[in-house]
Copies of this chain bind each other. A is one copy, B any other.
Amino acid sequence: MPHSVHPNDDIAALGKFGLIRHLTKDIRLRNKSTESGVGDDAAVLDYGSKKIVVTTDMLTEGIHFNLEYSPLKHLGYKAAVVGFSDVYAMNANPKQLLVSIAVSARFKISMIDLLYEGLLLACDKYNVDLVGGDTSSSITGMTISVTVLGEAENDKITYRNGACMNDLICLSGDLGAAYMGLQVLERERRLYRENPESQPDLTEYNYILERQLKPEARGDIIRTLRETAIQPTSMIDISDGLSSDILHICKESNAGCKIFADKVPIHTATNAAAEEFSIEPLIAALNGGEDYELLFTVPLSDFGKISAQPGISVIGHITETGGKALLVTPNGNTIELKAQGWNAIN
């Protein structure tokens, strides 16, 4: 059987995005109804009067979730919301959900019921129909695959590749909380293993725990954009961290950016937990991920409209074609953003 061996055959060396680029580099689209395929938050299909977007995510136990501290109902809710977030990131609205699960023999019906309670709660809240799926066995653990379809007006779809020089970079909500929530959960898991009798009071961490275990997708921002007649030039949701995600926009739009560190919104609860864990809060915001906030660009002429919206921060602007993605620190230094971590350049 013929096959081409990659110079370095190790998946870890390529990374997730490298692997996806490698696997999809030769794909050619042939159907009229396929408007856009791999490479954005969702694919875009044209079946007539409206555009359909479709996105799929796979979550595996031990990699994306840990059932030691993720209640199954929360997990179901989060799995659905993560898919809805990808649809919103196309400036579209989620409409249908398909969920496949594979579970090993240790899972009982009542456990799957809890997962579905969470899925259906998310469907209720976001007005989405669960229309299909698959259930199957696995040798070990649980795997969840979520596919979401959404719809948008023809001229509303927003890709990652439309950001232009001087566009404002906008962000909903705040960043870094989900990552700090994860740190608390990991610490409590270790403490519980050492002392199963412990009954910790986690009230002070409510905000960051909820951001990790039961995040929301920002459909309200999509409604705001529509109501204020703001058409973003590019958009992505923050799943991998601000650094990675603004780099996706810059790369796809072939542009640089400046992000101002002191404009990056961080919740007081995130700051407090970061201090407790001796983590720089900005690092949690840049690299933590799982915030499911919307990062988007708008023309400079929309500054008045966008800055009047509560819960949306203008954190920087797009710079010249082929430029670098830079973080400007409060003392005026610039640091080049990297997909994971950052490297000082001056």
A residues with CB within 8 A of B: 1, 3-6, 8-12, 14, 16, 19-20, 22-24, 26-27, 29-31, 33-34, 36-38, 42-43, 45, 47-50, 52, 54-64, 71, 73, 95-96, 98, 100-103, 105, 107-110, 112-114, 116-117, 120, 127-141, 143, 145, 147, 149, 151
Contact = CB atoms under 8 A, between A and B. Distances in A.
A120 B31 contact: no
A100 B135 contact: no
A263 B102 CA distance: 37
Among the interface residues A9, A131, A151, which one has the most CB atoms of the partner chain B within 10 A? A131
Among the interface residues A6, A42, A114, A145, which one has the most CB atoms of the partner chain B within 10 A? A145
Contacts of A136: 16, 58-60, 63-64
A108 to B, nearest CB: 4
A137 B14 contact: no
A37 B131 contact: yes
A141 B140 CA distance: 9
B143 A37 contact: no
B145 A100 contact: yes
A69 to B, nearest CB: 14
When all copies of this chain in the complex are counted, the total is 2
Contacts of A22: 109, 113
A6 B140 contact: no
Given A45-B149, A47-B49, A60-B138, 15 more contacts: A3-B117, A6-B110, A8-B109, A14-B109, A23-B113, A24-B130, A30-B127, A33-B96, A34-B95, A55-B98, A56-B134, A59-B136, A63-B102, A63-B137, A64-B136
Given A27-B120, A33-B151, A120-B26, A114 B62 contact: no
A140 B139 contact: yes
A223 to B, nearest CB: 16
Given A117-B3, A127-B30, A143-B102, A37 B95 contact: no
B149 A138 contact: no
Given A37-B129, A38-B132, A43-B96, A9 B108 contact: yes
A105 B175 CA distance: 31
A132 B1 contact: no
Contacts of A113: 3-6, 22-23
A208 B344 CA distance: 61
A261 B61 CA distance: 46
A86 to B, nearest CB: 10
A96 B129 contact: no
Contacts of A54: 54, 96, 98, 131-132, 147, 149
Given A45-B149, A130-B38, A139 B23 contact: no
Nearest to A94: B31
Contact of A114 (B3, B30, B98, B103): B3
Nearest to A73: B1
A76 to B, nearest CB: 11
A151 B117 CA distance: 31
11 contacts: A9-B110, A11-B103, A11-B107, A20-B135, A26-B120, A33-B96, A52-B52, A54-B54, A54-B98, A58-B143, A60-B143
